[in-house]
Chains A and B, each alone.
Chain A
């Protein structure tokens, strides 16, 4: 079994709240240690759920983001007390390179978490959470998203047919485009007829779902709320004080190390769930 996603087999509310906490805190916690904790934990987690090639691809992408930010930030920001050299009499400073690296780490950590979230949090879960409140909107979104994918697949198919027949001019592309439009409209009419025939719009929609809020969901949710509440409070109080401009400064109080540990625990929760799940899997399988 390649894709396990044990964390996403928990109740959708738990994973939604968890990823909201991790992504939002990743965006707003400007502290190099917290950013590194977030990025490293995201990579530890994706090694348990992605295959090796995708992990390497993600790592290369993150490295490129960090290098790009480190190179471009000094071109636009000249603050900092350590000039390296001057460009058109504006200082290119060490601090602005640090700031670019820090922004790159933050950005890539958030992107990795978003990739994990969009991979594991499928439409079934979105419609479970939002369907009751915004039933029509979630149906419209699902139809629209499907249409995008459908148009892409169909245009690829038509392009293959056309290129096999030697029709590769711009005019042929326009013909293909109008064919796809017609096809999609027809499909839309069929869809609406089909929905009507099945009684869409008559009375309240009912939902089938397979999600049950169990004891482990409650435990993880409590842990997430307590840990993120504690770290957000510590951030607001200033225990994670950090500044790069004009000089690198990091605030270390008595509670800061505790805060780093709490945040590490928070971002390692999915990995822990994944490892617990694979241990249980091995344990149960050996008993069969």
Chain B
């Protein structure tokens, strides 16, 4: 009888711990409705940054139109692509010092209401409903700073004043964007 009680107590403790963990997770998760998300984004756009750096960013997927036959049915038929492939024209923004390329992307996407998804810390899977592998098996998003492709994750690349960031979609492991890094093995 004593044994039964002990196991019951342990089961109750485990249940309480599980519930507590779920509650902590929910409390630490920031929930917003669609309207709240939009108004928070527009408020953020109005905030001015003092002692910031001025950088520019553009987002472009014009390469998918050169490989349109490889594009996934979902993206083709959803009507989400813009005809010229320009998701965001070159924009100059002032952000705080010490921010990374990823922070910049996240900020402009939130302000301009562009959906993004990232994996792990800062691997960008998709921007504006266009995802990796949507245009062939070696397609995905890459970024350029001042004309060169850095070899860092975008969350590790810290911006400096005057940097020009370009986010471009490749259908060919960067080769169609002029990146020769993956040609070395050939």
Q: Do A and B come from one complex?
A: yes
Known A91-B115, A246-B129, A247-B74: A83·B34 in contact at CB below 8 Å: yes
Q: Tell whether, in the assembled complex, residue B131 and residue A245 are in contact, meaning their CB atoms are under 8 Å apart.
A: yes
B48: Cβ under 8 A from any A Cβ: no
Expressed in whole angstroms, the Cα–Cα distance for A242 and B72 within the complex equals: 10
A85: Cβ under 8 A from any B Cβ: yes
Contact pattern, B 72-90, Cβ under 8 Å of A = 1, otherwise 0: 1111011110000000000
Q: Which residue of B lies closest to A85 (CB)?
A: B33
Q: Which residue of B lies closest to A83 (CB)?
A: B34
User: Which B residues lie within 8 Å of A249 (CB)?
Assistant: 73-74, 77-78
User: Which B residues lie within 8 Å of A81 (CB)?
Assistant: 78, 80, 115, 129
A residues 70-117 near B (Cβ < 8 Å) are 77-81, 83-91
**Nearest-CB distance from B174 to chain A (Å)?**
23
User: Which A residues lie within 8 Å of B136 (CB)?
Assistant: none
Q: Tell whether, in the assembled complex, residue B29 and residue A243 are in contact, meaning their CB atoms are under 8 Å apart.
A: no
Contact pattern, A 234-247, Cβ under 8 Å of B = 1, otherwise 0: 00001001111111
Q: Tell whether, in the assembled complex, residue A247 and residue B34 are in contact, meaning their CB atoms are under 8 Å apart.
A: no
Expressed in whole angstroms, the Cα–Cα distance for A251 and B80 within the complex equals: 17
User: Which A residues lie within 8 Å of B77 (CB)?
Assistant: 243, 247, 249, 251
Q: Tell whether, in the assembled complex, residue A79 and residue B29 are in contact, meaning their CB atoms are under 8 Å apart.
A: no
Q: Tell whether, in the assembled complex, residue B29 and residue A88 are in contact, meaning their CB atoms are under 8 Å apart.
A: yes
Secondary structure dominating the interface of B: mixed
Known A246-B75, A249-B73, A249-B74: A79·B117 in contact at CB below 8 Å: yes
Most buried by B among A79, A81, A246, A249: A246
B110: Cβ under 8 A from any A Cβ: yes
Expressed in whole angstroms, the Cα–Cα distance for A216 and B117 within the complex equals: 54
Q: Which residue of A lies closest to B75 (CB)?
A: A246
**Size of interface on B: residues with Cβ below 8 Å to A:** 22
Expressed in whole angstroms, the Cα–Cα distance for A77 and B36 within the complex equals: 21
Q: Which residue of B lies closest to A82 (CB)?
A: B34
Q: Tell whether, in the assembled complex, residue B129 and residue A90 are in contact, meaning their CB atoms are under 8 Å apart.
A: no
Known A79-B117, A81-B78, A81-B129: A243·B73 in contact at CB below 8 Å: yes
Residue from A77, A78, A244, A247 within 8 A of B80 (CB atoms): A247
Q: Tell whether, in the assembled complex, residue A244 and residue B31 are in contact, meaning their CB atoms are under 8 Å apart.
A: no
Known A79-B117, A79-B129: A245·B30 in contact at CB below 8 Å: no
Q: Which residue of B lies closest to A242 (CB)?
A: B73
Contact pattern, B 48-87, Cβ under 8 Å of A = 1, otherwise 0: 0000000000000000000000001111011110000000
Residue from B32, B74, B78, B79 within 8 A of A89 (CB atoms): B32
B37: Cβ under 8 A from any A Cβ: yes
Q: Which residue of B lies closest to A250 (CB)?
A: B77
Expressed in whole angstroms, the Cα–Cα distance for A77 and B31 within the complex equals: 16
Q: Tell whether, in the assembled complex, residue A243 and residue B80 are in contact, meaning their CB atoms are under 8 Å apart.
A: no
Q: Tell whether, in the assembled complex, residue B74 and residue A246 are in contact, meaning their CB atoms are under 8 Å apart.
A: yes
**Nearest-CB distance from A213 to chain B (Å)?**
42
User: Which A residues lie within 8 Å of B73 (CB)?
Assistant: 238, 241-243, 249, 251
Residue from B34, B74, B110 within 8 A of A244 (CB atoms): B74
**Nearest-CB distance from A238 to chain B (Å)?**
8
Known A241-B73, A249-B74: A79·B34 in contact at CB below 8 Å: no
Q: Tell whether, in the assembled complex, residue B37 and residue A89 are in contact, meaning their CB atoms are under 8 Å apart.
A: yes
B155: Cβ under 8 A from any A Cβ: no
User: Which A residues lie within 8 Å of B32 (CB)?
Assistant: 85-86, 89
Known A79-B117, A91-B115: A85·B34 in contact at CB below 8 Å: yes
Q: Tell whether, in the assembled complex, residue A87 and residue B80 are in contact, meaning their CB atoms are under 8 Å apart.
A: no
Q: Tell whether, in the assembled complex, residue B37 and residue A86 are in contact, meaning their CB atoms are under 8 Å apart.
A: yes
Q: Tell whether, in the assembled complex, residue B34 and residue A86 are in contact, meaning their CB atoms are under 8 Å apart.
A: yes
Q: Which residue of B lies closest to A93 (CB)?
A: B115
Residue from A79, A87, A242 within 8 A of B126 (CB atoms): A79
Given contacts A84-B34, A243-B72, A249-B74, 17 further A-B contacts (CB under 8 A): A77-B117, A85-B34, A86-B33, A86-B36, A88-B29, A88-B30, A89-B32, A91-B115, A238-B73, A241-B73, A243-B74, A243-B78, A245-B74, A247-B80, A249-B73, A249-B77, A249-B78
Chain B interface residues (CB < 8 Å from chain A): 29-34, 36-37, 72-75, 77-80, 110, 115, 117, 126, 129, 131
22 CB contacts below 8 A, A to B, read A78-B115, A79-B117, A79-B131, A81-B115, A84-B34, A85-B33, A85-B34, A86-B30, A86-B33, A86-B37, A87-B29, A88-B30, A89-B30, A89-B37, A89-B110, A90-B117, A91-B115, A243-B72, A245-B74, A247-B80, A249-B73, A249-B74
